[in-house]
Structure 1
Amino acid sequence: MRGNIPIPEMPPGEELWLMVVITSVREKRTQQGKRFCDATALNATGSLALKIWGETLDIWKDLKPGLFGITGTLETYQERPQFVVTEYRPITLEQYREHQNADPVLPRAYTLDIETLTLPDYRERVGPQLEKLLKLGNMRLEQQQRYLEDIVIEEERCYQLGSLSAASGRILSVAVHAGPIAGIDLGVELPHSEHVFGIDKNGVEQDEKKSLLAFLEFMKDFDCETDELVGHNLIGFDLPFIFQRCLVHCVPAKPLVDLSEFRVRGVFDTMHHWWLGAKRSVSLDDIAWALGIESSKTATAEGSKVFELYQAGKLAEIREYNLNDVRVTRKVYERMVGCFGR
């Protein structure tokens, strides 16, 4: 039996052995009720989808993320290659290094959060839009009451809410924490690092398009099959907003993940995991409070005050608040993985 072949060069149909890092394991069942696991593995030569059927799991038992020696054959399913595993055994870090001549390629978790502002030109659209809503009878009763009581105040409120849409808002900053994926301990320490795109360390604002390009350059090696994007309401807000603004600026960018999937590969959304996958809402601050994690909000800095801070020229405070959101999200992520598993 041949083995230790670079993943891109593996021939189909031949029994082979490999030494890999298994980064994720998902147990499933066929429509007929047959148990199997889909897993993802990688080594220095590339990444690979694994299929492990129930009879193999019954023999070799516990399969979880870690270092493994695997035996099986490369097959094709739905036009995608997958390695059907017939045997797997845990291996040591020394064994992996001996055969790969390198340390394990470690999957990374990128925890991110964005801060946004309303586009100045959007102010001209707010008044006519509100008038149209009122005339057509499409304005909600509570908004209608606010509007008739003080048109100027309601227009300003709606203007500031424009920051929640990439059609009327822009990205001020993107904060990213890069570190190890929670719940995987391979005996190799992966460094943690923090990055902010949009506001530099001196509190100086950077051009949105240049910030997006710098962010995309930083994320160019992200692999949704092995790495993980972590965030709070990442699926519903941050990720779409980032790539919608890329579209506005004519920045060619392939989205990092496919949000049309029922369970998006490569994403850990703490809001969804709080609800065990259900699409319901909860604030990051409420989760942090419930878990005893210090809030990212302060008396002077929170999401609703970003516009006010920006107007006051306090970009350094916005930058730090953006980073604090990421730090809190990382702690929530680690707690969830520790309690719920991967």
Structure 2
Amino acid sequence: MVDQIDITKVLFLDIETVSGAPDYAALNENMQHLWSYKAPSALKRYGEELTEEELAASYTDKAGIFAEFGKIVCISVGAVYRDRDKRLKIRLKSFANRDEATLLREFSEMIDQYYGDVNRYYICGHNIKEFDVPYICRRIVIHQLPMPALLDISGKKPWETKHLVDTMELWKFGDRKSYVSLKLLAAVLGFPSPKDDIDGSDVGRVFWEEDDVERIAVYCEKDVLATAQLFLKYQRKPAFADDQVVFVER
């Protein structure tokens, strides 16, 4: 299937998330109580009762991966186009904002304006079906914003969501047992690693302690570029060279 997709019809996407509050102590009593139920499964310590210290540490480490306890601080996208010489280029842009509702609204408006036809366009990401898309959709509902057409997938059958292309799923070839990182596939398939500054475990600290949304956006865009490079590998096509990558100023 991937060989038949026109890459200029694909929007590559990645998100970065953090905990919804700076730390466990900043949560109200009800949310602290609810986290005490969630934390044991997040730590794979099912049925255990955690101490306050363990709850606080687990919130810092794990809350950001759950849409109910975290929030999105950056959505980066990559759009591929052909220049005047018919050469492929990829334009990278980030929706990064301390206010999640603003970020989601701007992203959703862009999606509907340029990628509104589910029969013509695709969204592609690494582990996008298990993480990025559900997370975005849940946060859109939480903020009571309109759902973009390409993300309006609740209750849809698998054959109705063929516009969602997951590069991790493509690598599985029917194997459902394990997660394969984008960084590992970059090493195996020989394209530049997406991460050379911070990693996922640093994003919360960079946001809450350093207040550096720009740094997070740069990190997120590298993931998007790596996903596009992986997509080209699946199509047996050359990777993007440095002069084929365009960064949109924020």
**TM-score tier after normalising by the smaller chain length:** 0.7 to 0.9
Residue by residue over 1:52-96, the C-alpha shift from the partner in whole angstroms, topping out at 9 and shown as x without a partner, is: xxxxxxxxxxxx679xxxxxxxxxxxxxxxxxxxxxxxxxxxxxx
**Which residue number in structure 1 is paired with residue 101 of structure 2?**
209
- CA shift, 1:161, in A, is 1.0
Question: Which of the pair is proportionally richer in helix?
Answer: 2
User: Given residue 128 of structure 1, which amino acid in structure 2 is its aligned partner?
Assistant: H
Q: Aligned match of 2:158 in 262, 269, 272? A: 262
Identity of aligned residues (%): 23
Q: Cα distance 1:277–1:127, how it changes in 2: closer, same or farther (>3 A)?
A: same
* Within-5 A mapping of 1:1-342: 107-120=8-21, 123=24, 124=27, 127-129=32-34, 141=45, 144=48, 147=50, 151-180=52-81, 188-189=86-87, 191-198=89-96, 205-220=97-112, 221-222=114-115, 223-257=117-151, 258=153, 260-263=156-159, 264-279=161-176, 280-298=178-196, 300-310=197-207, 311-338=209-236
The amino acid that maps onto 2:9 is: R
Contact 1:126/1:159, CA 8 A, preserved across alignment: no
Q: Whose Rg is larger? A: 1
1:130 CA displacement: 6.5
Which structure's residues are more often strand, by fraction? 1
Structure 2 distance, partners of 1:207, 1:131, is 26
Given residue 262 of structure 1, which amino acid in structure 2 is its aligned partner?
Answer: P
Equivalent residue of 2:206, what SS? helix
Q: 1:25 to 1:242 in 2, by over 3 A?
A: closer
| Whole-angstrom distance in 2 between the partners of 1:212 and 1:206 | 11
Q: Distance in 2 between matches of 1:291 and 1:328?
A: 11
5+ long unaligned stretches in structure 2: 238-250
Between the two structures, name the one with larger relative contact order (CA 8 Å, sep ≥ 6). 2
In structure 1, C-alpha distance between the alignment counterparts of 2:60 and 2:99, rounded to whole Å: 22
The 3 A distance-change label for structure 1 pair 177 and 152 is same
CA drift at 1:196? 0.5
Gap change, CA 1:130 and 1:231, over 3 Å in 2: closer
Q: TM-score, normalised to structure 2's length?
A: 0.75
Task: Read off the aligned partner of 1:261 and give its amino acid letter.
Answer: K
Distance in 2 between residues matched to 1:121 and 1:306, nearest whole Å: 12
Distance (Å, rounded) in 1 between the aligned partners of 2:77 and 2:128: 12
Q: Give 1:155 deviation, angstroms.
A: 2.7
Whole-angstrom distance in 2 between the partners of 1:239 and 1:269: 10
Q: Shift of the alpha carbon at 1:306?
A: 0.3
Q: Could you tell me whether the CA contact under 8 Å between 1:127 and 1:155 is conserved in 2? A: no
Aligned partner letter, 2:230: V
Answer whether contact 2:71 2:100 (CA < 8 A) is retained. yes
CA 1:117–1:141 in 2, change beyond 3 Å: closer, same or farther? closer
Q: Which residue of 2 aligns with 1:59?
A: none
- Alpha-carbon deviation of 1:286? 1.6
Which amino acid letter does the alignment assign opposite residue 106 of structure 2? A
Q: 1:177 to 1:140 in 2, by over 3 A?
A: closer
Aligned-residue offset at 1:162: 1.3
8 Å contact 1:119–1:169 — kept in the other structure?
yes
In the alignment of these two chains, the number of paired residues is 223
Contact 2:9 2:122 in 1 (8 A): yes
How many angstroms apart in 2 are the aligned matches of 1:114 and 1:25? 22
Assess if the C-alpha contact under 8 Å between 1:109 and 1:228 holds in 2: yes
Q: Write the distance in 2 (CA, Å) between the matches of 1:211 and 1:227.
A: 22
